[in-house]
């Protein structure tokens, strides 16, 4: 049995690698064409190609689950066409045993996906976005985009620049009173974070207080703002979408959002999508095994590929359907992410039972 497991693992890995390589090449080519449509004169082919290369780890991770599913359809289809899958069933291999034979290859690609999504993609993505903005707008890139806005309780803050050291520049804070009227504003030339004290030190500060229609201005060389919002948190909000962050960064963003008494956010959806990735991989693996053992057992490779593409798109569309619904209707993010997974798990289980 172990010889057969190694044989199935080898065929599955080859098929998955080929599918992922083709998908990644096509998606990267389309991404390059899209980047070349940018209108900035300073953003040419070299800058666009560098951006595509830097974002390739994230694209690889995004398509891997679909490449895994189509790869298993191809590998298991080859076994079915050569009657090897039938021989395995005749010798007493149950669907559960066949799924265990697929487990090593699935675990290998899952570990690779988790490593890339947690350690490689976030860093390369952040660097890619920063380099792209630098190429398009120069050193004033963040300001040209309207700066970075964030809220902390009754305070709204705008940051117009963040450097590589985590220092922020041209900072504006607007403090509201209990009636949501502007009570105070802070303008600072720069700010530096003290990680030990978890405070920000603003320099060249102009502090304005509004009292009974009068504005009192005060100039300060330094002013401390006690807040644990770190430069990494600010940089992540400035340059990365939630789907491009690591789970650690997402958990920090979620904690910050909960402190603002916000509802279900994109950060929670991205976090649970990443946390439930093993269930997604396992569900699509079982689904591929179920359809090859059942409806697609005696069809050609072209039909299997067509089915795999549409089944993968169907899974993505289900995710895209329930994710916004979670935000609109305040559904728990974990439920919204679990629904598409549960649908494919249920179909796979029914097909396996019917053909057991």
CA 130 vs CA 46, 126, 265: distances in Å: 15, 6, 24
Residue among 248, 218, 222 nearest 236 (CA): 248
Give the per-residue pLDDT at 279: 95
Phi, psi of 37 (to 5 degrees): -80, -5
- Rounded CA-CA distance 5/83 in Å is 16
Neighbours of 342 (CB within 10 A): 13
* Residue range 244-292, pLDDT digits in tens: 888 988 888 888 777 665 655 788 888 999 999 999 999 999 999 988 8
Give the per-residue pLDDT at 319: 87
Phi, psi of 207 (to 5 degrees): -110, 125
Burial of 328 (0-12, 13-18, 19+ CB in 10 A): exposed
> 223 forms bridges with which residues in the sheet?
202
Cα dihedral angle (9, 77, 349, 106), rounded to 10 degrees?
20
Give the per-residue pLDDT at 308: 85
- Rounded CA-CA distance 76/294 in Å is 12
Listed as ranges, residues in the chain with pLDDT below 70 are 1, 39-41, 137-146, 213, 238-239, 259-264, 295-296, 356
Residue showing tokens 């790869």: 71
Give the per-residue pLDDT at 261: 58
- Rounded CA-CA distance 253/262 in Å is 11
Give the per-residue pLDDT at 105: 95
Give the per-residue pLDDT at 188: 93
* Residue range 90-116, pLDDT digits in tens: 777 777 888 888 999 999 999 999 999
- Rounded CA-CA distance 287/182 in Å is 57
Neighbours of 108 (CB within 10 A): 14
pTM: 0.82
Give the per-residue pLDDT at 260: 63
Give the per-residue pLDDT at 135: 75
User: Residue 208: which H helix or E strand, with range?
Assistant: strand 199-211
Phi, psi of 201 (to 5 degrees): -110, 110
Give the per-residue pLDDT at 52: 94
Give the per-residue pLDDT at 123: 87
Helices and strands, counts by H and E, the chain: 13, 6
Give the per-residue pLDDT at 138: 62
Question: End-to-end alpha-carbon separation of the chain, Å?
Answer: 19
Give the per-residue pLDDT at 117: 92
């Amino acid at each position: 049995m172990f010889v057969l497991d190694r044989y199935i693992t080898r065929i599955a890995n080859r098929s998955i690698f080929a599918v992922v390589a083709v998908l990644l090449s096509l998606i990267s080519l389309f991404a390059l064409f899209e980047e070349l449509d940018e209108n900035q004169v300073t953003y040419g082919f070299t800058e666009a190609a560098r951006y595509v290369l830097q974002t390739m780890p994230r694209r690889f991770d995004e398509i891997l689950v679909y490449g895994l599913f189509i790869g298993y359809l191809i590998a298991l289809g080859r076994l079915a066409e050569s009657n090897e899958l039938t021989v395995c069933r005749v010798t007493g291999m149950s669907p559960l045993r066949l799924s265990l034979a697929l487990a090593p290859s699935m675990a290998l690609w899952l570990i690779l996906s988790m490593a890339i999504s947690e350690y490689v993609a976030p860093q390369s993505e952040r660097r890619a976005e920063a380099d792209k903005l630098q190429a398009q707008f120069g050193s004033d890139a963040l300001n040209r985009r309207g700066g970075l806005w964030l809220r902390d309780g009754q305070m709204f803050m705008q940051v117009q620049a963040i450097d590589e050291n985590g220092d922020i520049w041209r900072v504006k804070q607007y403090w509201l009173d209990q009636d949501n009227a502007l009570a105070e504003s802070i303008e600072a030339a720069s700010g530096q974070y003290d990680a030990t004290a978890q405070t920000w030190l603003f320099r060249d500060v102009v502090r304005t207080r509004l009292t009974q229609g009068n504005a009192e201005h005060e100039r300060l060389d330094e002013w401390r703002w006690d807040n644990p919002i770190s430069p990494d948190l600010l940089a992540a909000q400035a340059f990365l979408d939630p789907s491009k962050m690591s789970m650690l960064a997402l958990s920090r963003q979620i904690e910050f959002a909960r402190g603002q008494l916000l509802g279900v956010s994109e950060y929670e959806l991205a976090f649970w999508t990443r946390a439930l990735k093993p269930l997604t991989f396992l569900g699509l693996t079982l689904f591929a095994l179920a359809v090859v053992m059942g409806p697609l057992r005696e069809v050609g490779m072209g039909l299997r590929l067509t089915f795999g593409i549409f089944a993968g798109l169907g899974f993505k569309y289900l995710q895209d359907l329930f994710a916004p619904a979670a935000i609109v209707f305040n559904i728990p993010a974990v439920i919204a992410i679990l629904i598409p997974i549960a649908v494919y798990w249920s179909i796979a289980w029914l097909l396996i039972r019917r053909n057991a």
